[in-house]
Structure 1
Amino acid sequence: MLDRRIVLAGALAAALAAPAALAQDYKAQVPELIFAKVPDENASGTTDRWTPFVNYLAKELGVKVTLRIANDYAAVVEGQRAGNIHIAMYGPASYARAVITGAQIEPFAIEVSADGTKGYYSVLYVKAESPYKSIQDLKGKNLCLVDPNSTSGNNVPRYAMHKMGLDPDSFFAKVVYAGSHENAVIGVQQGTCDAAFNWWNDETESNLNRMARKGMAKAEDFRIVFKSDLIVNSPMAYLTALPASLKTAIRDAVLNVATKDKAAFDAIYDGKQLPFQAVSHKDYEPVIELVRFVDDLRKKKKAS
């Protein structure tokens, strides 16, 4: 009986120690994690918004987590493809681009809008005082897009205009990639562009509303002349090659940040969104097909 008790006690101790051992194992393998976010606003805005989250993640995981500020969407895609960025917050199309170009990644968390939906829209802004009422009214004018890998700022607009029978590169006098959603709005504000595509959740939250809260623009100075169909919300993805125990720890930390560190979560979304939820690659397969379609349009145009 004594021997059996000793064996049982030893087994229980080993079981209790297993999680700690696994944690120590991933800390030895990955002493530092790099987190990056596609640049939908300026660098200082990204830093202010995501630094509390990165600090929370480091505390929960017990390893150093460094925030990397990317110059463009492609830098985040390439960073994960090369294995240099362990965790990334994408737009749907930039995630699709990463997968298409061979990045070995897994989406594990999705943004959730304040109304509980897991989607948002691409909208086309013009100045409120302008005469334009539709995309068709903008023929021969200047258009601001965001980035070639932006969902709401390039891929969805190009797909939507194709369905209208419009080729933006010939329909507009000039098409400009502004580099970020903020810069696209500023382009219209300053008159560089007559219209700009951007992301929009609902009447209470959009990139324009965020800019208004920061004093960068007045929402009433702009008007929407086009709104797309619903787009699946943005995913967070980590490298497939990370230790399984680390991926589990990252996923748990992210899915619970809204309760474990509400201030850090609210800093990301100004308190305007609901907690992250779990997601899988399957949810983004339609976006991957859309990006491939836009790629084919571009190839056909070059070949003609």
Structure 2
Amino acid sequence: MRPKTTALQNRPLAALPRTLIGTALAGALALTAFQASADLSSRFIDEDGDMVADSPTEASQWVDPDTLVFAYTPVEDPSVYAEVWAGFLEHMEETTGKRVQFFPVQSNSAQLEAMRAGRLHVAGFNTGGVPVAVNCSGFVPFTMMAAEDGSFGYEMEIITYPDSGIDTVEDLEGRNLAFTSETSNSGYRAPSALLRSEYGLESGEHFEAAFSGSHDNSILGVVNKDYDAAAIANSVARRMISRGVVNEGDYDVIYTSDTFPTTAYGHVYNLHPELVEKVQDAFFSYDWEGSALQAEFANSGEAQFIPITYRENWEVIRTIAEANGVTYDCD
């Protein structure tokens, strides 16, 4: 991979601030209020002002299933991640006393609807999908993966295949660019704000947009020359390289952003409070050493689960969403 344009300055992940807005994106967000307000569905109440749905006050409204259903954010081959998460889910079964089932979702919308409909209890939602999940599905994020030193995050990259004739972001004009889905931060919202504000490039006017459905699909689409370029999360690319799905020389990087928070893990708002405590304990007490989870996510620099809050850690993502005119019509 040959980096062409970058907002990073060759800094290691551990040295990166936790919630940076890149220089280019800062221009895109200059006129946007940095403190975004909650936009919860009318189904939910937020008495404590933490921007996520409160647990119901009536015990009769709590959900205490015999089987907890867990879903990881959509990927190109869900069966791979069923194996990656198997050991962790066994640990969750021991911690909660519940059977835990892996639910292989095929799209962001399917994952959101499953939690909204009460069929999904614990999940990892992709960065850009977290606000939608919070506001429309009652998702309560409480943790994400981090490096051993507590640093976390990933970068948005715009990639192309070698000898595509695309050497800079400006060269995207007249070509096609793959996004993942409209709820994705690095796969749609962040690059859209960047291209519009810094380069004057609008989808449908200056380049043709396609939606692949996942970062895996976008990366493979570029490697196979189905797409001229794609906006991706580089953490996904690193994991695909480590598994031998693609090689480093299969694509070139023409832009790299600063760091964003990564996948958030949490539970549905009406899960029984005692069960919530056990679910949280399952994440924070998990021993990564020698696990399939460690083998998979070490390639992204991740080695533990750390506590987070939606209000603090997703502020930059809410701001990017506002810059793109995103609203939530959950009802």
TM range (shorter): 0.7 to 0.9
Provide the rounded CA distance (Å) in 2 between the counterparts of 1:75 and 1:270.
28
3-state DSSP class of the match of 1:258?
A: coil
Gaps of 5+ in 1: 1-27, 201-205, 298-304
User: TM-score scaled to structure 2, two decimals?
Assistant: 0.73
Q: 1:240 to 1:123 in 2, by over 3 A?
A: same
Q: 1:257 to 1:226 in 2, by over 3 A?
A: same
Partner residue of 1:209 out of 238, 246, 250: 238
Q: How many residues align?
A: 263
8 Å CA contact 1:61–1:249 kept in 2: the answer is yes
8 Å CA contact 1:126–1:225 kept in 2: the answer is yes
8 Å CA contact 1:43–1:69 kept in 2: the answer is yes
Q: 1:235 to 1:280 in 2, by over 3 A?
A: same
Partner residue of 2:167 out of 120, 123, 133: 133
* CA displacement, residues 243-300 of structure 1 (integer Å, 9 cap, x when unaligned): 11111111111012135x6514314415641201001121213312322432449xxx
- Higher alpha-carbon Rg: 1
8 Å CA contact 1:154–1:197 kept in 2: the answer is yes
Kindly state the Cα deviation for residue 168 of structure 1 after the two structures are TM-superposed.
2.2
Q: Does residue 1:222 correspond to 2:257, yes or no?
A: no
Partner of 1:96: 131
Partner of 1:47: 82
Greater per-residue strand proportion:
1
Q: How does 1:98-177 map to 2 (within 5 A)?
A: 98-100=133-135, 102-113=136-147, 116-164=150-198, 165-172=200-207, 174-177=208-211
3-state DSSP class of the match of 1:69?
A: coil
Greater per-residue helix proportion:
1
Kindly state the Cα deviation for residue 186 of structure 1 after the two structures are TM-superposed.
1.2
Provide the aligned C-alpha RMSD in A.
2.2
Partner of 2:114: 79
Q: Does residue 1:289 correspond to 2:303, yes or no?
A: no
* CA displacement, residues 194-249 of structure 1 (integer Å, 9 cap, x when unaligned): 1111112xxxxx32232223222111121110112321222101012111111111
* CA displacement, residues 139-171 of structure 1 (integer Å, 9 cap, x when unaligned): 111111112222211111112112222212321
Provide the rounded CA distance (Å) in 2 between the counterparts of 1:265 and 1:215.
17
By relative contact order (CA 8 Å, sep 6+), the higher-ranking structure is: 2
User: TM-score scaled to structure 1, two decimals?
Assistant: 0.79
Provide the rounded CA distance (Å) in 2 between the counterparts of 1:276 and 1:156.
25
Provide the rounded CA distance (Å) in 2 between the counterparts of 1:238 and 1:262.
26
Gaps of 5+ in 2: 1-62
Q: Does residue 1:276 correspond to 2:310, yes or no?
A: no
Q: Does residue 1:33 correspond to 2:68, yes or no?
A: yes
